[in-house]
Every structure is written in C-alpha cells, then in structure tokens.
A and B are shown apart, each in its own frame.
Chain A
Amino acid sequence: MNLSSSRKHFLLYLILSAFFLALLVWWIYYQVREGERITTQQEAVWEREIAVAHHWLEEHLTDCEAFRVWLAATYPDLELTELGVVAVRTEARGALRETAGRRVRMFASEGSVLILLLIAAVTYVYWTLRKEILLERRQSTFLSATSHELKTPLTSLRLYLDTLRDRKLSEEKQKEVFEIMGQDLTRLSNQIDELLQAQAVMGKRRVVLEEIELAKETEAALAQDRVYYERQGFELRMKLEAGLSALADSRQWQLVVKNLVENAVKYSGEARVVEVKLSHSSGRAKLEVTDFGIGIEHAELKRIFDSFYRIGNEDTRSTQGTGLGLFLVRAIVKSFKGTVMAASSGLGRGAIFTVELPLIKDAGNA
C-alpha cells in the first residue's frame, strides 16, 4: 500500500525536527567550547608575556620604576607585585572571567529561547499534521460513502430506464417502476443538496438570520419526508409547541430537522418509531428527536458530529449516508448561536438528539 501524502509529510517532519534539534544542541555545545578556548588562549598569552617580562626584569633589575613604566606600556594586563613577581592584574583576570561568563549567559539564554521556540513549532506542526491525517482518513471514508450514495440512485435509475425501454411491463409493474424512479430522484437530489449545503457551511458563507416560527418550519421540513417514511412503515410522532420564535434561517433550520429525523429513522432499528418534540425552557427553544433503535456507544458520542464521520467500517456499511448530516447540523445550529447534543444509554437503547436555540424575547414567547 502507498504511504498517504500526509504520512510522508509526517515522516519528513520527524526527520527534520530531529535534525534541527541536533543542530541546535551542537551549536550551543560549540559556543560554550569556543568560550572556554578563548579563556585558555588568553591565559597562555599571559603566561608567555609573564615569561618575557621576567626575563626583562632580570636584565633591568636596577630600575624598578622604569620596569613598571615599560611593563604598563608593553603589557597593560600585567603588573609587578609587592613581592617583586610579575603577575596578571586582578582587574584583567576579572574582565576575562566577566567576558567568559557573559558569553555563557548569552548562549544559555539565546539557546533556551531557541529550544523553546523549536519545541513550540514542533508541537504545533505535530498537532496540525495529526489533525490532517485524521481528516484525511475521514475524507477517504467520505469519498467512498459519497460515491456510494450518488452512484446507487443513479445506478437504479439507469437500470429501470433500460428496463422500461427494453421490456414490455404490465401497467401495474410500470407504475411501480415509476414510483421507484421518483424515490431515486428524490434521494439523489437530497444528496446533492446536502453536499452543496456542506460546501456553503464549510466555506463560511454568511447567512442573514431572521425571525422564524420554529413549529411551522419544523412541520414544513417534515411534510414531504413524513409521507415517505410512513409509506416505509415508520411512525413519526410529532409534538410541536406553537409560538416559539428564534433567529435562524428557515432553509437551514429545515435541513437540521430533516437530517436529525433522517438519522433517527436510519438508526431506529426494529422499533420504527421516531419522536419529534419542540418545547421551551428557561428562555431557550428545545427540539428533541428521539429514536428507540440501535443506540450509540459512549465512545462514538463525541465523534458523530465530526465532518465525514461514520460509525464503523465502510466495507460493511449497514446504513446509508455520507457522514455529513450531523456535521451540518452542528455547524448550522452553531451559526444560530444554539447547541446540539447527542445522548444514548448505550447500544440497543435508542438515542436522543437535543437542539437548543435562544428564543426571541418579544415575540410572544411564554
């Protein structure tokens, strides 16, 4: 199997990070060594100068004062001590020590700042790459799921079109085929709608929010789907409190409702019942979509709102979908300044999705 590009980047990144860290450590080590070398060198120079001075002193022993003048002029770092010995001036030694110390301090501080910066950069890049790898994995799932979701109704349409063209069907059978083709078209157009909405949401296109009546819009969202679900044997129990208004976009709100209900229907298992309840409490409108189906594992709860996230493995996909639905729900609700939450008491125990939006105060809300 090929290494994906972000994995390759990750490997490259590890190698580069290690290289730069090694470079930095080497540079600090080198600078400290260089400082030590300069000190040693200076001391060697002094020793040579002392030797020359002593030699001079032995030759001109007679005139101490003249020697001092000569010494100060020739070797300003040296002095003639009380004991008559030539030695390095305390100030000169102090200055050398001071310079060496300054160098070490400089490189220690500069070095640690550089190391900190490098660690920060390395960590930042690590998280970015990690996020990219995870996203890439989800995207590949998404592509696989989307190609399935788009190709399936297309394949079915083509199949039935060929069938109608090439075969003589009874009138009853023909009716059935037209019904199926209609459903396929709806599925295809819903799918395309969802992709376009996702693109709009991810592209952060601004939507002007306006006051909408939630019960009315919720009812409208489900008017068509409800018939479709009921024909398939699902029961949609709706309990919508009228007169609740919020700042939102009616088209996007309808998409939220549709997606949550579609999701609930998909996972409703044998129970085949979905409850949609609109109510309010402490200044917030509350939409609850409940199913009594296969439920959600605790570990999955956090991730189901991520883009392209789908539970399980695409090879054994047990439900339709692209993994965009709930991601869209969250993005839209967030843009309405609301929240969405999923809860489930575990596998086989159904799930409840709760959307909360701030109510508009002067709109006759209780």
Chain B
Amino acid sequence: MPERILIVEDEAHLADGIKLNLEAEGFSAEIAANGLQAIARILADEPSVVILDVMLPGASGFKVCEQVRAQGSRVPILYLTARGSEDDRVKGLELGGDDYMTKPFSIKELIQRVRAILRREEWYRSSPGASDLFEFGGNKVDFAAYKAYTRQGEIELTQKECMLFKLLVENEGNVVDRDKILDNVWGYDRYPSSRTVDNLIFRLRKYFEPDPKEPVYIHTVYGAGYRFTREA
C-alpha cells in the first residue's frame, strides 16, 4: 500500500502541483485547503506524513500542529511555508513539527525530505523492541506506546525521547556520536542545537537512572558522544 501524504495548502496551484509530483513518485496524496479541515483529516485518517503550510484560512499551520499534537497524534509534520525567519522555524519545530522548508522550494528536495522522514519512521518501527517491552535495571520501555515504567511509575515519553533512547539501545555498549543522533532523531541540518541533545539525555537520565548525577546506564563519553549499557 502506498504511503499516504496529506498536503495542507490553500493555494490550489501549489497543492495540485505537489500532488501531481508525489503521485508520480508512487505516493498517494490528498489535499486539505484550510487549517480546520486539516486537523480533522489528520486525526481521522492518520496519514504517513503531513506537508503543512503556515498561513492558512481557518487555523494557521502552527495551530494545526499544536492541536494535533495535543490530541496525541504523532504523525510526522513537514512545514512548507513562505515564512523563512529563524523565529518561525524554531516556533514550528518547537510546536512538534519534524522538518521545515521555505518557499520557493525544489520539489526534488521536498520529496527527498518526505522520504527521509518515512525512513526515520520505518527505522523507529523496526526491531529491536518495537513491539516488546525493553527491560533494564528495573525500568521497562514500551517503544510502540511511547511509555516507560520506572521507579517513579508510568511516564509518557515524547517522540524524540523515544527515538534517542531507541538509538542508544540499538547501539548498546557502543558510543553514539552527536552526528548520528542528529541524523537519526532529527534528520536534517541546523536544528537542533547540541543543547537540545543534552537536554534530552538529561531527561532520559532523570527517568531511568537511580542517581541522574552519577549515571550508570547512559554514559557520557567525553569528546565522543553517549553510550548505553544494560547492566549498571
């Protein structure tokens, strides 16, 4: 079954052109022409990827992203907008978007980025532990449900937390460097800052480590990256 892409775009010419190209690449594509319609479609149809304009009638693209995330949807969102300022980009990604492209754009690059997003999703859904619970040191992580059961009880994990932790688990015992983390968890350049990676690691340690200041599972390898070990 082809991957379903939802194009949220109020300019009919653009929406039709993108649809034409995506279909030629073997995707199935649909169009929503305003923000409110987009929210309803995303929640009801769960497309594989959403290509989202920002300046939209009904509800802005930022609002759409915020709303569907608040409803628990983890559908990957790629912004495609004329608004290219750094503030807009950061805002869009902070609201839970996965990638950000500005108009005018190259359709080839758009398709590449859609494929990259789908690859990351595919990687995340694949083993190990995609369906089973992953257990270590009294913690259980359910990657499919984005949940963890720790000494503190049940915790809802964000998508990025899950992806980063999965990456560490997959490379158990080996160092995972920043580039690999950025590539697998975010998949595009210039975002996020290294600080964001540090913050994610900090949060994971808070969930899983008996003493986050003296980590025994998630180790920092100075100058190289991070390493996960199952045994304390």
A112 contacts partner chain B, Cβ-Cβ < 8 Å = no
Please state if B57 and A155 are interface contacts (CB–CB under 8 Å): no
Which one, A153, A173, A317, contacts B57 given CB within 8 A? Answer: A317
* B51-64 to A contact mask, C-beta < 8 Å, 1/0: 00011111110110
Do B107 and A151 touch (CB < 8 A)? no
Whether A163 pairs with B14 at a CB distance below 8 angstroms is no
Cα distance, A144 to B84, chains bound together (Å): 11
B132 at the interface (CB under 8 A from A): no
Any chain A CB within 8 A of the CB of B177? no
Q: Is B11 an interface residue (CB 8 A)?
A: yes
* A316 and B17 contact, CB distance less than 8 A: no
- In the bound complex, residues from chain B placing their C-beta under 8 Å from that of A144 are 55, 83
- A177→B82 CA distance, assembly (Å): 22
Question: How close is A267's CB to chain B, nearest CB, in angstroms?
Answer: 13
Number of interface residues of A (CB under 8 A): 26
Q: Does A152 contact B (CB under 8 A)?
A: yes
Q: How far is the CA of A238 from the CA of B13 in the complex (A)?
A: 29
Find out whether the CB atom of B14 lies under 8 angstroms from the CB atom of A159: yes
Interface string of B188-220 (1 = CB under 8 A from A): 000000000000000000000000000000000
Interface of A is mostly: helix
CB of B96 to closest CB in A, whole Å: 17
**By the criterion CB–CB under 8 Å, are A314 and B103 in contact?**
no
Are B21 and A163 in contact (CB-based, < 8 A)?
A: yes
Asked whether A316 lies within 8 Å of B58 as measured between CB atoms, the reply is yes
B residues 115-145 near A (Cβ < 8 Å) are none
Given A152-B103, A155-B104; A318-B17 close (CB under 8 Å):
no
Docked Cα-Cα span, A166 to B109, in Å, equals: 13
- Number of B interface residues in the complex (CB < 8 A): 27
A148 in contact (CB, < 8 A): yes
**Is B18 part of the binding interface, using a Cβ–Cβ cutoff of 8 Å?**
yes
- Given A152-B82, A166-B108, A167-B24: A180 and B13 interface contact (C-beta under 8 Å): yes
B97 close to chain A: CB less than 8 A: no
**Most chain B CB inside 10 Å of its own CB: which residue of A153, A159, A183:** A159
Taking a contact as CB atoms closer than 8 A, the residue among A159, A180, A315 that contacts B107 in the complex is A159
Q: Provide the residues of chain A in CB contact with B16, threshold 8 Å.
A: 180
**CB of A308 to closest CB in B, whole Å:** 16
Give CA–CA (A147, B84) in the complex, Å: 10
A154 to B16, CA, bound (A): 15
Residues of chain A lying within 8 A (CB to CB) of residue B14 = 152, 155-156, 159
Going nearest first, the 9 A-B pairs with the smallest beta carbon separation are: A315-B60, A318-B57, A155-B104, A159-B17, A156-B13, A155-B103, A151-B82, A158-B104, A162-B107
Give 12 CB contacts A-B under 8 Å.
A147-B82, A147-B83, A153-B13, A155-B105, A159-B18, A159-B105, A162-B106, A183-B13, A315-B63, A316-B55, A316-B63, A319-B57
